Structure 1
Amino acid sequence: MPPMTRGNYRVYVAQTREDIAEAQVLRGLAFGSGGVDRDDYDASCAHVLVREKQSWTLVCCFRMLLLEDGRDVFRSYSAQFYELSALQNFTGRMVEMGRFCIHPDWHDPDILRLAWGAMTAFVDANRVDMLFGCSSFAGTETGDYLDAFAMLKARHLAPKRWWPRIKAAEVFRYAARLRRKPDLKKAMSGMPPLLRTYLSMGGWVSDHAVVDRQMNTLHVFTGVEISAIPPARKRLLRAVAQ
């Protein structure tokens, strides 16, 4: 993926250990760990950085793990938390998008748009057929997000052929437990921006959320088949990526 400049920002794939180290510091800040966020998966991933051009501040980062097909899905970060044997039958290339974060002091919506433009360029350049990852809600209190989970149950559960099953020790089985009709306004206000973007592209989620106390999040497995993205949405993403 070649570097891209849009407006006040430049986005590129990290080339140095210093770039990756700075991304790990931003992740620690954004995720509230109080330190540097790093793990063994970093070495296998491409790291995408978004910087403000004038100050060169790192305002957003995420990482991507490219897999040749579903037989490699066990190598992913998500496979620690979800039983993904159904996805081993997926025959196309896959990318796991992870550790997505925006600097807590920066709120420009162009940052998220540019990040997705960069992802689109990477997906097109590598002929990727599925994008997946863990979409996180802040905190571990399920009661804060009942309308959001009810909406996921009603509209966005994974196709049976790719169904992620339970593996983590602590989960919230929202699809089995919730019987409420979602308040759509409350549901969307509680939905994380990253997950909203996945859903707008035709994404789907697991029927349960993992309670990740180490990261202080609730997260759902999320997948997007590139062929299922609405054409109008593809045009918008590619307009940013060009």
Structure 2
Amino acid sequence: MTQVLLQKGRYRARQSQAPEDIKAAQSLRALAFECDDADELDAHCTHILVEDTNTGEVQCCFRMLCLTAHDVSQSYSAQFYDLSALEHFEGAMVEMGRFCTHPKASANPDILRMAWGAMTVFVDANKIELLFGCSSFRGVHTEDYLDSFAVLSARHLAPKRWLPRVKAPNVFRFSRAASGAFNIKRAMRAMPPLLKTYLMMGGWVSDHAVIDRKMNTLHVFTGVEIRAIPPARKRLLRAVVG
């Protein structure tokens, strides 16, 4: 079933589970991630596509997997992180994954606003209380991101009651980067845009990054408790929807 979530100007965001839309999302992911990207979870997720209505081309996509505390172990993130702490979370959760934009549209703020507006509509409609996923740093060289990891360790770690534990065989613990001073400008410049958006919404992260050589990324578990999003940020998200 396909449903339009938001439409402004030449862009439209819609949700779908139709096979042809899943294939369109997978094609954009292959282009953005520079590798074929498909897994068994695609069939169980709702896919959000932001399209240019003039051309019909998909400019941005991501997928949403609605979960409860009882089935959080079935998430994509649970393959890499021990999420047993979240089995005590009361409220609906959604895993947001595979967020990407067309390489030619990556700097277009209108497309990103549409994506976050669509996310807001989806979260509201499904009464979601925790949004989570993995935020990826490009490449697997941890030394490139020591300032970023130090900032995450110092300012943005998950509350202890929700903190993901180490599960993957190859990880980089942020405590290794937090021993000295960090350069905040360099740290923020190296942060992935998706992670910066999560942090602006009051998001928190795991205390380690997973070294994923298959995807050529260093990814960090990231969570956002909806009720903890700062009021000013909520107003900005609602303004896009309105």
TM-score with structure 2 setting the length: 0.96
CA distance in structure 2 between the partners assigned to 1:2 and 1:26 by the alignment: 19
What is the Cα deviation at residue 204 of structure 1? 0.2
Aligned counterpart for 1:27 among listed residues 29, 44, 48: 29
Q: CA deviation at 1:8?
A: 2.4
Distance 1:220 1:97 in 2: 13
Deviation (angstroms), 1:202? 0.4
- Residue 2 of structure 1: CA displacement? 3.6
- Point out where structure 2 has 5 or more consecutive residues left out of the alignment: none
Structure 1 residue 175 displacement after superposition: 2.3
Matched, 1:41 2:41: yes
CA distance in 1, matches of 2:193, 2:41: 24
Aligned partner letter, 1:129: E
State the partner residue of 2:223.
Answer: 223
Deviations 1:106-148 (A, max 9, x none): 1201111111110011111111100000000011111111111
Show CA shifts across 1:24-61 (max 9, x none).
0110111111xx31100101100000011211111100
The answer as to 2:19 corresponding to 1:17 is yes
User: Across the two proteins, how many residue pairs are aligned to each other?
Assistant: 239
Q: Which residue matches 1:139?
A: 139
- Using the TM superposition, give the Cα deviation of residue 15 of structure 1 relative to its aligned residue in structure 2, in angstroms: 4.7
Distance 2:228 2:175 in 1: 23
- Please give the residue correspondences for 1:1-242 in structure 2 after superposition, counting only pairs within 5 Å: 2-33=4-35, 36-67=36-67, 69-106=68-105, 107-242=107-242
Say if 2:13 and 2:118, in contact at 8 Å, map to a contact too.
yes
Partner amino acid for 1:112? Answer: L
Q: What is the percent sequence identity of the aligned residues?
A: 63
Tell me by how many angstroms 1:16 deviates.
Answer: 2.4
| Divergent runs of 4+, >3 A | none
Quote how far apart the aligned CAs of 1:7 are: 2.4
Q: Secondary structure at the match of 1:162?
A: coil
TM-score of the pair, normalised by structure 1: 0.96
